[in-house]
Amino acid sequence: MTLLHVAILSPFIFAILVPFLYKRFRNIHTGWFVLVLPILLFVYFVQFIDTTMNGDTISNTANWIPSLGINFTAYIDGLGLLFALLITGIGALVILYSIYYLSKEKEQLNTFYVYLLLFMGAMLGVVLSDNLIVLYTFWEFTSLSSFLLIGYWYKREKSRYGAQKSMLITIFGGLLMLGGFIMLYIMTNSFSIREIIEQVPEIAQHDLFVPALVLILFGAFTKSAQFPFYIWLPDAMEAPTPVSAYLHSATMVKAGIYLVARFSPVFSGEPEWFWIVSSFGIFTMFWGSFNAVKQTDLKGILAFSTVSQLGMIMSMLGVGSAALALDAIDDSYYTVATLAAVFHLINHATFKGSLFMVVGIIDHETGTRDIRKLGGLMSFMPITFTISIIGAFSMAGLPPFNGFLSKEMFFTSMIRVLDMDVFNLETLGILFPIIAWIGSIFTFIYSMVLVFKTFTGKYQPEKLEKKPHEAPIGMLISPIILASLVIIFFFFPNLLAYTIIEPAMASILPSLLGDENHFHVHISQWHGPNLELYMTIGVILLGTLGYYLLRKWRGIYRIVPEKLTLNKGYDAALYQLDKSSFKLTRFYMTGFIRDYLAYIFTFFIVILGTALVVKDGFSFSLAGTAPIGIYEAVLAIVMVIGTITVLFSKSRLTAIIALGSVGYSLSLFFVLFRAPDLALTQLCVETVSVALFLLCFYHLPEFKRKEKKLHFKLTNLLISLGVGTIVTLIALSANSQRVSDTISKYFIENSYTLAGGKNMVNVILVDFRGFDTLFEITVLGIASLGIYGMIRLHVKKEEEG
């Protein structure tokens, strides 16, 4: 394992230490200890910038399950490095912010930082893994850790609801994504993303190529809150604000964006990829901005704005994929969409992260996030107001903020769709710039609502829980840094162009790595009067008009009944699923073991019987089998008689003796088959069992003296005969159709030489099957602890009662 692997796993390792630090240093905020890790990781990843700028990559492999092609291959290229810097850089600022936001007296900081570190490690694993199975493992870990973070305030019903909703939707998409990964493996015989990319020309016409494409996009869309899966993100705002600032601006919701970008070299150029990614993205951009305007909760506005911005980035990645179909990968005219997507990915993390922190400050200092109760805070919180202006105006796409630059590129990429002559864009392409422009108008409106409804207007102290005042400097440091980056990236955008953006684009469009016609990124603030500028002017004019007339046209949101919304559909589906599962469970969970045995044995007969028929397993040969002697026959008869006696005995003592005779007869079978160790084990077990029964004889239930007539049940007869028949047929078939030598020969030859033991059974249990034995012991240990806990709880209740 290399230093790169340690860097990825370090958040998990540090998470183990957090509870001890929390307990040992009660007077120090735990966040100060945690803050050190993301800072060190950020510094560590920064050193790779020179490597990726030169077109090189870093790859280190640690074997995991090499026989299945599953290894932990840590891989750093331009795209992975971009996300690693976002995860660690924004993570450090969020942790610094949380130190002042979360009180060490009121909050369980140990659990909060454990969850946060688990999420950070999972995200690093996602963006720096080359192996699909490892990526999927970390992917689902992000869903689990985000569930814990969103439900951090678990006593609140809305927090539990939001956490459950996010987990169900994202894990559903993750399972479908796993199906796509398996299909890629079937086509390429490799789990390595780099090896899959190399085989794209051979697999593009495979029957599983498009299904794999669709399933992978399910995973990306659910994680990045694309329509119609966006409904989990607004409810996730019940998490603490540091969580929202981290998960929903820079990391978790960007995982789907990362997935689309990472697999663009595999699927770009395919019409299905272009239309699904770009159309869902552009509609999500419009839908999120449209719904953000009607929100009255500040975090609700930011939630839908995040949905909109993610759709915007997704649409640009989709449009940029057409460059492969046009064979214009080295032409800046067609690669501007990919450039804009990468640039806006960075810009969104800066302005949205600062805005989330601003909303947390407002909630922290006033006790509410409801814009109907806020207003006139500008004079009380001037620094917070300034940060809000910078973040909101950047989100609206206004100069001199970085969002203006990437928004102009967004308009450019949508306009240039009209010049593409692939995928029927000659007719449908006009929709892209139109929807983009309309969505941008709503983006401008909700950005103005966010700022001016909060900081200007009438001050309403009677509606506030606290008297507003400026936040402490510690809480302002992180949003000030992010707001500063918003301005810096506008005036000096090429600080990122050659160091971060260009290597990331080379990962998304690998042909950019070529020496010939190498595409260089250059971002400038002014391009003269062009259509994009006129679109921006139109956005400002219509957006300003829409903001001032908001009350007059806001009634359109009541056109669609609440019952027809996606959220109500989700709730109804979940309710019906719960109701149906309850009915089904009540149907087969009767409380009688005989019924459960009937289910199990019926399934056993049907499945194995069908397998015998389908696989033509009815081929029997008695060659090589030992003859049945008189001793075996007698012992078998004794065991049958003992078993029947147990069933029909009217005395407890008779039943115990009959049951013991069955066990002792079995031990004699082992003696006949020359297995003295098994015979001794069986004798000991049977002796202990009979002794325990006799010791508990007094407490056993009385046998009823009343004669009861046994009722004949045809179903039970058929099941018993079926099980016996199937087991016999399988035993005969398995013995008759051996396709290879028995494994016992291997154990006989290697037990002593490999394990140093002459008792072959013990060697198998301890060495060859050591892990199985360990897990069996573990299961027994867990069961015993459970029983002990139940007994203690019962005793405690009796004492209290």
Note whether 316 and 449 are same-domain residues: yes
| Residue 797, pLDDT above cutoff 80 | no
Distance in angstroms (rounded) separating the CA atoms of residues 800 and 278: 64
Nearest in space to 646 (alpha carbons), one of 655, 638, 657: 655
Per-residue pLDDT tens digits for 607-655: 998 988 887 777 766 666 777 888 888 989 999 999 889 888 877 788 8
Note whether 700 and 722 are same-domain residues: no
Domain end position, chosen among 719, 739, 759:
739
Is there a cis peptide before residue 400, judged by omega within 30 degrees of 0?
A: yes
Which residue range forms the structural domain that includes residue 725? 590-619+709-739
Does a structural domain hold residue 696?
Answer: yes
Instruction: Give strand pairing partners of 574.
Output: none
Per-residue pLDDT tens digits for 247-275: 887 788 999 999 999 999 999 878 999 99
CA atoms within 13 A on the CB side of 366: 31
Does a structural domain hold residue 124?
Answer: no
Does a structural domain hold residue 281?
Answer: yes
Note whether 526 and 662 are same-domain residues: no
Note whether 301 and 433 are same-domain residues: yes
Instruction: Give strand pairing partners of 678.
Output: none
Does a structural domain hold residue 200?
Answer: no
Does a structural domain hold residue 298?
Answer: yes
Number of domains in the chain: 4
How many residues make up the chain in this entry?
801
What angle, 0 to 180 degrees and rounded to 10, lies between the N-to-C axes of helices 332-366 and 252-267?
170
pTM of the model as a whole: 0.82
Give me the phi and psi of 626, to 5 degrees please: -75, 145
Instruction: Give strand pairing partners of 297.
Output: 370
pLDDT of 702:
64
Sign of CA dihedral 525, 531, 534, 535: negative
Segment holding 58, helix H or strand E: strand 58-65
Where residue 322 falls among pLDDT bands split at 50, 70, 90?
confident
Does a structural domain hold residue 464?
Answer: yes
Distance in angstroms (rounded) separating the CA atoms of residues 524 and 149: 40
Question: Mean of the per-residue pLDDT values for the chain?
Answer: 89
Distance in angstroms (rounded) separating the CA atoms of residues 184 and 209: 7
Dig out the tokens for 773 from the structure.
């034995």
Note whether 346 and 395 are same-domain residues: yes
Does a structural domain hold residue 496?
Answer: yes
CB 153 within 8 A of CB 160: no
Per-residue pLDDT tens digits for 194-221: 999 999 989 989 999 999 999 999 999 9
CB 452 within 8 A of CB 365: no
Note whether 770 and 730 are same-domain residues: no
| Residue 136, pLDDT above cutoff 70 | yes
| Residue 432, pLDDT above cutoff 60 | yes
Where residue 796 falls among pLDDT bands split at 50, 70, 90?
confident
Where residue 32 falls among pLDDT bands split at 50, 70, 90?
very high
Residues 6+ apart with CB under 8 A from 758: 751, 752
| Residue 168, pLDDT above cutoff 90 | yes
Domain end position, chosen among 558, 579, 606:
558
pLDDT of 518:
57
Residue with tokens 């941008």: 440
CB 91 within 8 A of CB 120: yes
CB 659 within 8 A of CB 646: yes
Note whether 493 and 467 are same-domain residues: yes
Distance in angstroms (rounded) separating the CA atoms of residues 642 and 650: 14
pLDDT of 327:
65
pLDDT of 173:
96
Could you give the residue ranges of the DSSP H alpha helices within 649-743? 652-672, 676-695, 714-736
Note whether 664 and 610 are same-domain residues: no
Note whether 304 and 390 are same-domain residues: yes
Note whether 297 and 416 are same-domain residues: yes
Where residue 399 falls among pLDDT bands split at 50, 70, 90?
very high
Other CB atoms within a 10 A radius of the CB of residue 528 amount to 5
pLDDT of 712:
63
| Residue 707, pLDDT above cutoff 60 | no
Distance in angstroms (rounded) separating the CA atoms of residues 498 and 504: 10
Where residue 361 falls among pLDDT bands split at 50, 70, 90?
very high
Per-residue pLDDT tens digits for 476-532: 999 999 999 999 999 999 999 989 999 999 899 886 555 444 567 888 888 888 999
Per-residue pLDDT tens digits for 674-694: 888 788 888 898 888 888 877
Domain end position, chosen among 690, 718, 739:
739
Per-residue pLDDT tens digits for 539-555: 999 999 999 999 999 88
Per-residue pLDDT tens digits for 448-490: 999 999 999 899 999 888 889 999 999 999 999 999 999 999 9
DSSP 592: -
Distances (CA, A) of 463 to 124, 367, 452, 467: 43, 10, 18, 10
| Residue 708, pLDDT above cutoff 60 | no
Does a structural domain hold residue 402?
Answer: yes
Give me the phi and psi of 103, to 5 degrees please: -80, 130
pLDDT of 705:
53
Note whether 427 and 546 are same-domain residues: yes
Sign of CA dihedral 332, 333, 337, 343: positive
CB 617 within 8 A of CB 738: no
Note whether 702 and 713 are same-domain residues: no
pLDDT of 333:
63
Dig out the tokens for 772 from the structure.
């199985």
CA atoms within 13 A on the CB side of 263: 28
Dig out the tokens for 720 from the structure.
């018993």
pLDDT of 624:
63
Q: Between β-strands 70-76 and 58-65, what pairing exists: parallel, antiparallel or unpaired?
A: antiparallel
Nearest in space to 426 (alpha carbons), one of 417, 438, 436: 417
Per-residue pLDDT tens digits for 730-778: 888 877 776 677 788 888 888 888 888 888 878 888 888 888 888 989 9
Instruction: Give strand pairing partners of 61.
Output: 73
